[in-house]
Chains A and B, each alone.
Chain A
Amino acid sequence: MPAYQRMLDPTLNGLHSGESPLLRTVGLTKRYGDFLANDSIDIDVWPKEIHALLGENGAGKSTLVKAIYGLIQPSAGEIRWQGEPIVLSGPSEARSRGIGMVFQHFSLFDNLTVAENVALGLDGKESFKDMSARLEQVSRTYGLPLDPRREVWQLSVGERQRIEIVRALMQDPKFLILDEPTAVLTPQEADQLFVVLERLKAEGRAILYISHKLDEVKRLCDTATILRGGKKVQTCNPRLETAASLARMMVGGEIKEVKAAAGRQTTIPRLVVNDLSLAPDEAHGVRLEHISFELKGGEILGIAGVAGNGQDELFAALSGERLSKDPGTIVIEGIAAGHLSITKRRKLGAAFVPEERLGHGTAPRMKLSENALLTGHAASGMVNRGFIDTAATLKTVDKATETFDVRKAKRDPEAASLSGGNLQKFIVGREILRNPAVLVVSQPTWGVDAGAAAVIRQALLDLATAGAAVLVTSQDLDELAEIADRIAVMFHGRLSAPLAASEATREKLGLLMGGSSLEPKEAAHAVGA
């Protein structure tokens, strides 16, 4: 670190002199085959520090924390804990030394209670009763209220995360790793989490905080280490950086700005949903209740909401993967389509991009040309009397490659061999090349690098400018603010009335995402209807 920066940085300057960091990695390297996931990474984390680990998907953040938590063994380099080199045989050794971790994907059993789940994750020998009592006490102390007797499936995502955090805290860790903890929270829930983290810091614990939300990192973190392509780019004080300068370090260059064309005209309604209600088809699924909205050509409607509030179910209902008994609940291009199959809906001019790229949007082990056929067979002239026109499928691949800058090793590789961003560009491109009248897209840039995300968002804007109706479901409020004309929020299978993007502040959206209503009278009316 340059000397001038050290002087500017209150946490690094003086405070730590003479001590050793709580945790230090020296030249930590992890190799998978020919691929260097971590290339000689040095980081220092001090007590009483919230240290951000910033980077795009694939930058090596997860690999690094997995090594620190003992889940994987580094190929070279070492980890020093309180100055001593250590070798962790596994997570339980990491935990016994005082390293805790909260994963982005929870490992909880839906049908067990909170206390049972916590008991399963602890190595201790205390009785279930003592453990339950301690659980209640820890959760009360840190302002993370939890009822130990409730079953997990009844809890919201925020509450589930609390279980994971409390479980980690019950081991009294000196060092806590949090992997993108706010990805599943409303802005208000995130604020509550920050209070807890500040408190943990005040108690002298260190926190390693993985994120790619720059505002959050600037607000919360004392130090930030930026990774790119498996290498450490820099360690800095995020409060002295701008969001743009942090983004540059993450991406290694400027990101193209997404521009909406001026004077976009809305035309006729192209996708109308009338009082759509649908029972879930699996246990613990979400019931869609009385969903109505109208989407015109030239318009982008954003649907915000915490994951698991019915977005997947809505996508399945709109795409026709699940059918509705009442044809009139979904109207595509003026035609009642609730009872029509996904193929027939595509023939009406609708196109769909699901959240999951591999296994849902594409068949992972099939070639791109075959994956072009997967959705193109309905209405793109790829099939002639039952026979596949291979040249036409390859042409779609080439066109998508060219138009959307899909980078791949050869002309027609397997879908699974592409990186997330490039595969997503291909999938979005495949649908946009069909010139759809209606595009329903779920999490268009989830886990996609910033460059690809900009290409995809621009493509969605251009499609709307060309007259299509675009429905975007996303958990990323910044993304919706960037491209949507109106934003509605899903909560417990219900959809709020859309707000104009200019009025949709984070606070308002956050309240709706948490289930509060903005205008009590109107909400009561909507429930009655």
Chain B
Amino acid sequence: MQLVLEKRTERSNTIALVSPLIAIGLTIVTMTILFAILGKNPVLALQAYFIAPLTDSYSLQELAVKATPLVMIAIGLSLCYLANAWNIGAEGQFLIGAVAGSWIAVKTQGTDAGAWVLPAMLVLAAAAGALYALIPAICKVKFGASEILTSLMLVYVADLLLDYLVRGPWRDPNGFNFPTTAEFDPVATVPLLIEGGRLHLGSIIALLVVAAAAILLGRTIKGFEIRVVGAAPRAARFGGFNANQLVILTFAVSGALAGLAGIIEVAGPVGHLQPGISPGYGFTAIIVAFLGRLNPIGILIAGLFLALTFIGGEQAQIAMKIPLDVTKVFQGILLFYVLACDSLILYRFKLVLANRQVARGAG
């Protein structure tokens, strides 16, 4: 008897929906084993990860706050990935957006600049993220350089630039030498939705981005272009669609969304520019994009789920002294299972009873 993978004649939509759930299930099983090996009670650990954050208003708001950048970045990445353009550098575009937007905040600090400051910050951050993402896109189109490598390497450039600025020119003179800018002025801050809470306007922007992406991909010819170029490049060229143009476009859009997420994070929950503004949002968003099936609604759900792992990780660290890095292990295992389960969309398992010939042929 042997287990074989058999190609399906048509992709299975049921599996396409269920596969992320199977992946999550397998991840939880693996994590249970891992917690047991670490000597922690798996039930309590899983409860700290997945249940505790959902039990109070503060944590629920925090969930939305953490999901906001993940969803925004992942939507942009999904456009790239659908078009077969592999932007791995969203983290860098996120940081560049944060830096560019903060420049206005820092320069207007203490002046009587009006309500234009925050919109200007958002626009500049998006533009900077887009331009930063265009570097690997243009290198790919013009010189055939692998965008996977170039976009990834630019993450470290952005990281060090931010580090330099907050330790040098933009450091808060009254900040006790901490590497951080001064707290942004109110006009340079993303407004809260609930007074005294955590939820801010950025979450609304993220929802609008999800809706726009759903319309783009489902209803417009541009969205169709993006999907065809990724699914069947030669057919796309026959259809008259230019793959190189789409690499440029999707990179620019995803860079803009990452940059926007960056400034919303800095001008929102953080309130000032400092190193470590991102716990790896740009990388986690890759998992969000795939877990969400590169589908806008799926990404919204996946973003909330991954946000849960961030918050749960903190809770588990506080409550049970489980290292925060376990969260990253968790996310890595999850991505692994998501990609593995995806093969079930186009293939199915089949038990084949060995017949006489096979048995003898093998022997």
Contacts and interface: CB of A to CB of B under 8 A. Distances in A.
B240 A362 contact: no
Contacts of A360: 234-235, 238
B357 interface: yes
Contacts of A319: 238
A417 interface: yes
Interface string A367-381: 000100111011000
Contacts of A378: 240
B234 A388 contact: no
Interface string A303-330: 0000000000000000111000000000
A374 B228 contact: yes
Interface of A: 33, 73-76, 78, 87-89, 319-321, 341-343, 346, 352, 354, 356, 359-366, 370, 373-375, 377-378, 383, 386-388, 413-414, 416-417
Contacts of B9: 416-417
Interface string B2-21: 00001001110000000000
Sorted nearest first, the 10 A-B pairs with minimum C-beta distance are A343-B240, A363-B232, A374-B239, A363-B235, A342-B240, A417-B10, A89-B361, A383-B221, A360-B234, A73-B357
A366 B228 contact: yes
Interface in B1-52: 6, 9-11
B228 to A, nearest CB: 5
Contacts of B228: 363, 366, 370, 374
A386 B231 contact: no
A489 B104 CA distance: 68
A388 B10 contact: no
A97 B9 CA distance: 36
Contacts, number: 88
15 contacts: A75-B355, A78-B357, A88-B361, A319-B238, A342-B237, A342-B238, A352-B238, A361-B238, A366-B228, A366-B231, A366-B232, A374-B235, A374-B236, A387-B221, A416-B10
Given A386-B220, A414-B10, A73 B358 contact: yes
B283 interface: no
A456 B350 CA distance: 38
B224 A388 contact: yes
B10 A76 contact: no
User: Most A CB atoms within 10 A — which of B9, B221, B232, B236?
Assistant: B232
Contact of A354 (B11, B219, B220, B238): B238
Secondary structure class of chain A's binding surface, majority of residues: loop
Interface residues of B, number: 27
A42 to B, nearest CB: 17
Nearest to A320: B240
A74 B358 CA distance: 9
Interface in B175-224: 219-222, 224
Contacts of A346: 240
Given A374-B228, A383-B221, A387-B221, A321 B6 contact: no
A377 B10 contact: no
B180 to A, nearest CB: 44
Given A73-B361, A388-B224, A413 B238 contact: no
Contacts of B219: 387-388
A354 B235 CA distance: 10
A356 B238 CA distance: 11
A76 B231 contact: no
Contacts of A78: 357
Chain B at the A interface: mostly helix, strand, loop or mixed? helix
B142 interface: no
A321 B238 contact: yes
B107 interface: no
A321 B231 CA distance: 18
A388 B238 contact: no
A88 B362 CA distance: 10
Interface in B264-317: none
Contacts of A320: 240
A395 B228 CA distance: 21
A361 B236 CA distance: 9
Nearest to A342: B240
Contacts of A374: 228, 235-236, 238-239
A415 to B, nearest CB: 9
A9 B11 CA distance: 50
A416 B7 CA distance: 12
A413 B10 contact: yes
A359 B361 contact: no
A382 to B, nearest CB: 8
Nearest to A378: B240
Interface string B215-257: 0000111101001100110111111100000000000000000
Interface string B155-168: 00000000000000
Nearest to B215: A387
Contact of A362 (B235, B350, B358): B235
A359 B355 contact: no
B302 to A, nearest CB: 22
A87 B238 contact: no
B361 to A, nearest CB: 5
A366 B358 CA distance: 36
